[in-house]
Amino acid sequence: MTNLLAIPFRLKRDLVLVNFGSGNNSNPVTKLDDNLELILMIANYDPECGKLAKALDHIEGVNGVDVRIASSNFLGYGLFNECIYGIPEFKARFSRQIYCK
C-alpha cells in the first residue's frame, strides 16, 4: 500500500513545486515518514527578556508531532541534527540564555 503522504508529494514534484534531488531526479516516492517534526528557530532573542522560558512552558505535546528547537552553531544557521534539541533538553542546555533576568 502506498503511503498517503507520498501521493501529494509526488504530485508537487511532478508539477515542479518541489525541487527534489538534483538532475531532475525522477525516483518514485513510495513512502514518507508519518512522524512530523516541528522545528522552531529562534533568532535575535534578548536573554534578558524571559518570554521564551514562559512560552516553552506552555507548549503542549501533540500526538505524532515532535516539537524541537534549532540553535545556531559557529555563528551560522546551518540546520544540523547536532544543533536541534527537544524542549526539555533545550531548556536544560540553554537555561542561562533563556532565564536571565
Residue 15: C-alpha distances to residues 10, 20, 85, 89 (Å)? 9, 11, 34, 40
- Are 27 and 43 in the same domain? no
Residue 1 pLDDT: 40
Give 101's contacts (C-beta < 8 A, 6+ positions apart).
48, 50
Name the nearest CA neighbour of 95 among 55, 41, 53, 59.
53
pLDDT digits (tens, 9 = 90+) for 13-45: 778 777 666 566 667 666 667 777 888 888 777
Calculate the average pLDDT of the chain.
76
Q: Model pTM greater than 0.95?
A: no
- Are 2 and 22 in the same domain? yes
Q: Which domain holds residue 21?
A: 1-34
- Are 39 and 29 in the same domain? no
- Structural domains of the chain, count: 2
- Are 93 and 44 in the same domain? yes
Q: Which of 33-37, 51-55, 77-81 has the highest mean pLDDT?
A: 51-55
